């Protein structure tokens, strides 16, 4: 893409490539979801299960939406008052494509060492995306992002080494980093080393996913990056880091240790509460949605702590769809007003009613209001937590999610209503509404139509974090 000198032409190729990639991935992974195939096997260290394939397709869909909207967004930037250079845009496209490739690698890797390499690669390849505008604020955000995430990932490498050492002590001759072998030999892993390994990996990958209190880089990076890059960062990168935590949590749970479940559950709950408090006092639109992403990371951590992979995926799916829509719309608004500050963005309903309606619907979708899909996933997570007797967590989550809903609606309400901004200049308002509209419709579809269909996928036999077998029927009554 960088070799093509015209930024617009490069953008066209990127968009075409992204949609072809999405369709190809759907075709390749289709047998996993329908014909009973268990894996797409490349080698012992790289293969896809249906669960991994779902995330790969989700990442591809997010990338396709972000690149498509990005083509229009960067066209607007290039004709704006302070246009970026063509080289900047082309570097952005090139890095974004490699960034998406690295994210695919995270889901393909079934070896903790290669998983670490892929996660670190996502940090390195996404740093240029944050640095796009070359301003002082972008520089500050990129520096914080690079340093905090790299140090965090170093601790994750140390944790990986501890897990490798735990396998060497009697479980697997010579040690292993393969997830399947670690799960099979889980009961023989050295418990002390495994505990150290989990804690360091959790801290490391938790930094990468923006868990409280290691989240300080996230609002800066997501707000300084251009809107399509913010959508990629929020809609897919966070899922990668959480997926790594999920993989390692599976190994620790298989060894009979409840540390990973309880720790993850409580970290998620605290993250939700902290993020909802931060949301009350915000001054910039994209930072507001970045803190909303942190809140959703907390909800996903709760799902992982409840040992439910499919609830984690469902929340990730709904969050990604809503958050991508929110960031793309916020990019339109920031581009039209020339300001990131909430105080400069008001009266959107009068100036750009289509954007205003889509923004309102996306906010409802992103904050877990019915009838959107996020409501369904959060409701199911709360139900599962309550049925497993984590009542304190349920109460705290309800408080946190409610608080964040009120805070976000309050801020966005001021953007939608109020005095019309005379300086607002929309660039291709209908074209730039297409992808957010599609995503809002998808979120609505997930909430209304797929709800009953999702229950059998989620509620098969499973064991709860306390080790009890739990079987659910379609009508919701649980058996033991």
Partner 1 sequence: MSLTIYEVVSLLSAVIAVLMLGSKSLPLQVSLFSVQIWLITGETVFFAYQYNHWEFYGVALILFLQRAVFVPLFLERILREIHVSRDPGMILPAPLTMHLSILFFGLSFFVAQNFPAPGPGGIVVATATASISHLFSGIVMMLTRRLALSQIIGFLTIENGVYLFALTQTNGLPVLIEMAVLFDILGAVMIGGVLVFGIKRSFEHIDVSQLKDLKH
The contact set with partner 1 (CB under 8 A) reads 111, 113-114, 116-117, 120-121, 123-124, 127-128, 131, 134-137, 139-144, 146-147, 150-151, 154, 157-158, 161, 164-165, 168-169, 174-175, 177, 190, 192-193, 219-220, 223-224, 278
For partner 1, which is the closer residue by CB, 203 or 431?
203
Q: From the CB of 288, what's the least distance to partner 1, in Å?
A: 12
For partner 1, which is the closer residue by CB, 204 or 465?
204
At CA 76, angle to CA 75 and CA 77, rounded to 5? 90
Alpha helices in 210-352 (DSSP H): 217-224, 227-232, 238-254, 259-280, 285-305, 309-337, 348-351
Tokens coding 12: 């066209």
Q: Position of tokens 């993989």?
A: 247
For partner 1, which is the closer residue by CB, 75 or 295?
295
Residue 284 near residue 195 (C-beta atoms within 8 A): no
Residue 229 CB: number of other CB atoms within 10 A? 28
Q: From the CB of 168, what's the least distance to partner 1, in Å?
A: 6
Q: From the CB of 154, what's the least distance to partner 1, in Å?
A: 5
Q: From the CB of 95, what's the least distance to partner 1, in Å?
A: 11
Residue 435 near residue 360 (C-beta atoms within 8 A): no
Q: From the CB of 341, what's the least distance to partner 1, in Å?
A: 12
Q: From the CB of 479, what's the least distance to partner 1, in Å?
A: 42
For partner 1, which is the closer residue by CB, 165 or 457?
165
Q: From the CB of 246, what's the least distance to partner 1, in Å?
A: 21
Q: At what angle do helices 309-337 and 373-387 cross, to 10 degrees?
A: 140
Residues ≥6 apart with Cβ < 8 Å to 130: 138, 141, 142, 145, 221, 224, 225, 229, 233
Q: At what angle do helices 451-458 and 373-387 cross, to 10 degrees?
A: 40
For partner 1, which is the closer residue by CB, 142 or 320?
142
For partner 1, which is the closer residue by CB, 286 or 319?
286
Reference 177, options 165, 188, 187, 169; nearest CA is 165
Q: Position of tokens 């300080």?
A: 216
Q: From the CB of 177, what's the least distance to partner 1, in Å?
A: 7
In sequence order, the β-bridge partners of residue 469 are 463
For partner 1, which is the closer residue by CB, 102 or 302?
102
For partner 1, which is the closer residue by CB, 176 or 296?
176
| CA–CA dist 244, 205 (Å, integer) | 7
For partner 1, which is the closer residue by CB, 158 or 409?
158
| CA–CA dist 174, 183 (Å, integer) | 16
For partner 1, which is the closer residue by CB, 150 or 425?
150
Tokens coding 281: 């006092």
Q: From the CB of 325, what's the least distance to partner 1, in Å?
A: 25
Residue 446 near residue 335 (C-beta atoms within 8 A): no
Reference 100, options 245, 235, 210; nearest CA is 235
Q: From the CB of 453, what's the least distance to partner 1, in Å?
A: 40
| CA–CA dist 413, 245 (Å, integer) | 36
Residue 267 near residue 299 (C-beta atoms within 8 A): no
């Amino acid at each position: 893409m960088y070799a093509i000198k015209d930024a617009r032409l490069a953008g066209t190729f990127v968009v075409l490539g992204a949609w072809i990639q999405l369709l190809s991935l759907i075709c390749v992974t289709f047998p996993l979801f329908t014909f009973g195939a268990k894996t797409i096997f490349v080698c012992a260290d790289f293969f896809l299960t249906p669960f991994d394939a779902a995330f790969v397709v989700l990442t591809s869909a997010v990338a396709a939406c972000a690149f498509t909207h990005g083509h229009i967004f960067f066209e607007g930037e290039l004709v704006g008052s302070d246009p970026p250079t063509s080289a900047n845009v082309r570097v952005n496209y090139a890095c974004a494509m490699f960034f998406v490739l690295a994210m695919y690698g995270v889901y393909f890797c079934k070896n903790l060492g290669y998983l670490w390499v892929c996660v670190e690669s996502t940090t390195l390849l996404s740093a240029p995306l944050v640095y796009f505008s070359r301003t002082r604020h972008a520089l500050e955000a990129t520096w914080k992002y690079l340093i905090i995430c790299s140090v965090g990932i170093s601790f994750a490498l140390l944790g990986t080494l501890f897990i490798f050492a735990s396998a060497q002590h009697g479980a697997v001759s010579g040690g292993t980093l393969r997830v399947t072998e670690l799960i099979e030999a889980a009961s023989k892993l050295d418990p002390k080393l495994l505990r150290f390994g989990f804690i360091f990996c959790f801290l490391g990958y938790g930094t990468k996913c923006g868990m409280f209190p290691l989240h300080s880089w996230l609002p800066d990076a997501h707000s300084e990056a251009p809107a399509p890059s913010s959508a990629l960062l929020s809609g897919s990168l966070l899922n990668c880091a959480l997926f790594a935590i999920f993989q390692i949590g599976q190994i620790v749970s298989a060894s009979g240790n409840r540390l990973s479940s309880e720790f993850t559950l409580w970290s998620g709950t605290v993250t939700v509460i902290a993020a909802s408090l931060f949301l009350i006092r915000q001054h910039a639109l994209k930072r507001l949605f970045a803190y909303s992403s942190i809140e959703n990371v907390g909800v996903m951590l709760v799902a992982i702590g409840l040992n439910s992979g499919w609830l984690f995926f469902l929340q990730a799916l709904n969050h990604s769809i809503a958050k991508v829509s929110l960031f793309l719309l916020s990019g339109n608004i920031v581009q039209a007003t020339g300001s990131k500050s909430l105080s400069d963005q008001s009266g959107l309903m009068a100036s750009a009613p289509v954007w205003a309606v889509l923004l309102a619907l996306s906010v409802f979708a992103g904050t877990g209001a019915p009838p959107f899909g996020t409501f369904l996933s959060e409701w199911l997570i709360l139900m599962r937590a309550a049925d497993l007797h984590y009542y304190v967590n349920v109460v705290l989550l309800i408080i946190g999610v409610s608080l964040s809903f009120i805070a976000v609606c309050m801020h966005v309400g001021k953007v939608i209503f109020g005095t019309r901004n005379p300086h607002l200049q929309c660039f291709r308002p209908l074209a730039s509404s297409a992808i957010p509209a599609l995503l809002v419709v998808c979120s609505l579809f997930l909430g209304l139509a797929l709800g009953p269909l999702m229950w059998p996928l989620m509620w098969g036999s499973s064991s709860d974090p306390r080790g009890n077998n739990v079987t659910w029927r379609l009508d919701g009554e649980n058996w033991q």
